[in-house]
Each structure stands twice: as structure tokens, then as C-alpha cells.
Amino acid sequence: MPFSDYKTALVTGASSGIGAAVVERLRQENIEVHAVARSGQALQMLAARTGCIPHVIDVTDRPAMAELAGRVEFDILVNNAGVDRPKKFLEADESDIDLLIDVNLRAVLHLCRLVVPGMVARDRGHVINISSIAGTYNFGGNSSYHATKAGVSMLSNQLRIDAFGKRVRVTEICPGRVATDIFNHVHGNDPSVRERFVDGFELPQATDIADAIAFAIAAPVAVNIGHMEITPTLQVMGGLQTAKPQSEAKSNQSGEPTP
């Protein structure tokens, strides 16, 4: 469906990174973009630069999000807001689990509940759910994050079933590592963090993800681009590891022969 058939968009997590890039890209297509984030100063700067409509709201504030969704008919919904508290699940805190579920999954479910029925009624709409390669692939120390992103992935598939017969399209965007400030938000605002995750790597930029989203939205109405996995060329997922039992490992360390 060409951009001309859409008038309004809601983008969460819009104050920086991928969210801000998506706002800018949609504004280039003359879409009225409502940008939601917690950072009022960053939103105001984004609004001054792009002409978007800022809303300083936490996505977990259900009444505030319901009020916005009840006031504006959204043709495009971009669920981008997300958080992470990386640690092994054996060391997980109760508050960390609740936070990830509330922001990464519960807020997405409720926003879809608030917005998608209107799209179905109008026979027009596009949901963009930004999940992660963590929803599909395993890597250490991030179990709660993996679980929430897998939930978003399954929701994306189910939405198309629930909206079957209507021109409501659903696209799941699964980024790998992208050059944004998310690593500072997660690991602390220290130069060593950027050096660890960004500097020296060839990574997609936030604008690359925004362009991919624009490509999916601009496809003909008969085309639903359901899933896009976007990773650095030099990043791969997976890898086989095999551990020995602790008793075996200790025997090796002591120099004793292992059968």
C-alpha cells in the first residue's frame, strides 16, 4: 500500500536510535507522526527537527496510551520501545523480569489491542513490531529478553491470522547489532561500552532499519512483508558449545587423565 494511503503513525521509543530514525523517515513521506517516549527534551528536539507530534508518555502507562489511541486513528503502528537487563536467568531479579515483560511485551500487546481493531474496521493499516534476533536465536545471559522478544515474534504471526480478510499488514523487524546508543542505556554511559559494542565494527545504522521499514510500508497493498532479519554482514548467530561435567573438568585441571 503506498504511503499516500496512510495518514497517521504512532512510534514508541521515539526519542533516539531506531525510533527517532523511523520518525524522521515517516515524516519524509508526509505522514503525521505521533512520537512517544519518556524523554521530553529529546522528543522536543525531534519535534523541532521533523515536525512530529511529541507525547511524553511511558508505554507502560496504559490509561495515557489508551487516551491517545482513542483520540487518533492510526494507520501505522511502530512498536519500537524496549529495555534490557542482561544477566543470567539464575541471577535474575524480580524487578528486572517485570520491567522487561511490562515494556517489551505487555505494552506491545495492549497497543495492538487498542489500535489494530480500528485498522480492521477501516480495512487499512500496518503494524511494525521491532523484535530482535534474540527472539529466534540463543545467546548467553539474556533469558528474560529472549522470552519477551519471542512473544513479540509470535504475536506478529498471530495478528495476521486475527485480521485475516482485511488489508491490515504486519511486519516483524528483527535487528541484530545496530550502531545506536542502546548499549549505553543497558551497560552504562561509559566510553568503554561503545568501544566494546560499536567502535571498529561494520554495523547497520538506525537509518538502515528505518529504510527497511519504509520499504515494507511502501510495498503494494497486495504484498505483506512479514519478517525481515537485519544483521551486520560480519555477524552470525549460533555456534556449538559442549561442556564437560564439573567433575571431569576438575580432573583435567588437576592433570589426571580423562577417559
Nearest to 215 by CA among 29, 15, 52: 29
Q: For residue 202, with 0-12 CB atoms within 10 Å meaning exposed, 13-18 middle and 19 or more buried, which class applies?
A: exposed
Catalytic status, residue 6: no
Q: How far is 107 from 94, CA to CA, in rounded Å?
A: 18
Spatial distance between the Cα atoms of 106 and 119, rounded to a whole number of angstroms:
20
Q: In this structure, which amino acid lies at residue 68?
A: L
Q: Is 138 exposed, middle or buried (0-12, 13-18, 19+ CB in 10 A)?
A: exposed
- Look at the block and give the residue holding cell 488489508: 167
Strand partners for 130 = 173
C-alpha cell at position 97: 523480569
- The beta strand positions in 51-176, using DSSP E, are 53-56, 76-79, 125-130, 168-175
Q: Do 11 and 131 contact (CB within 8 A), yes or no?
A: no
Q: Choose, from 77, 80, 128, 145, the residue flagged as catalytic.
A: 145
- Residues that are catalytic: 145
